[in-house]
């Protein structure tokens, strides 16, 4: 099974701007369809209309305006995957610090592992991909860390 993280947020942003932000933050290559590719991972993003909004996001306290998926290649080595996980965290941190709004990062669409909003950026301190990744673990001392509520599990 592929490793996948889903990012949803309530910031009102157009897709060209979000895709360009992701490409810049990751150093990835944006293709004509908007997908951002880099070694061992690709990222898609789209806006969400009220009719298409995931009602589960209300459990996290916001109405979904955009969603993005970080899909990791099964064939990538551990060092590449760790680097890409750190890039993904960097994307959300930079976005949260430069834009207003709330958002959530879910592992495989169900486990909340990072959340941001009015109380800052919060990492799930029990998520092994954060604690065992040498490029992400130092962030746990710079940002809030706690066991995040899991309303989807």
Residuewise pLDDT in 10s, the chain (153 residues): 568 999 999 999 999 999 999 999 999 999 999 999 999 999 999 999 777 778 888 899 999 999 999 999 999 999 999 999 999 999 999 999 999 899 999 999 899 999 999 889 999 988 988 989 999 988 888 999 899 989 988
Task: Flag whether the pTM goes above 0.85.
Answer: yes
How many whole angstroms separate alpha carbon 42 and alpha carbon 126?
26
Q: Which CATH architecture has domain 3-146?
A: 2-Layer Sandwich (3.30)
Cα–Cα distances in angstroms (integers) from residue 142 to residues 14, 62, 95, 101, 112, in the given order: 30, 25, 16, 20, 19
Count of Cβ atoms closer than 10 Å to residue 127 Cβ: 21
Strand partners, 42: 37, 71
How many whole angstroms separate alpha carbon 89 and alpha carbon 113?
10
């Amino acid at each position: 099974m592929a490793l996948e993280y889903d990012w949803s947020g309530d910031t009102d942003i157009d897709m060209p701007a979000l895709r360009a932000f992701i490409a810049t933050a990751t150093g990835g290559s944006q293709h004509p369809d908007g997908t951002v590719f880099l070694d061992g991972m690709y990222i898609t993003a789209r806006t969400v209309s009220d009719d298409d909004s995931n009602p589960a996001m209300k459990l996290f306290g916001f109405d979904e305006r955009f969603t993005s998926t970080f899909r990791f290649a099964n064939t990538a080595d551990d060092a590449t995957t760790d680097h890409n996980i750190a890039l993904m965290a960097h994307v959300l941190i930079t976005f949260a610090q430069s834009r207003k709004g709330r958002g959530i990062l879910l592992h495989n669409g169900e486990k909340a592992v990072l959340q941001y909003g009015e109380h800052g950026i919060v990492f799930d301190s029990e998520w092994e991909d954060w604690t065992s990744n040498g490029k992400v673990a130092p962030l746990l001392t710079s940002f809030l860390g706690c066991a995040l509520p899991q309303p989807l599990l």
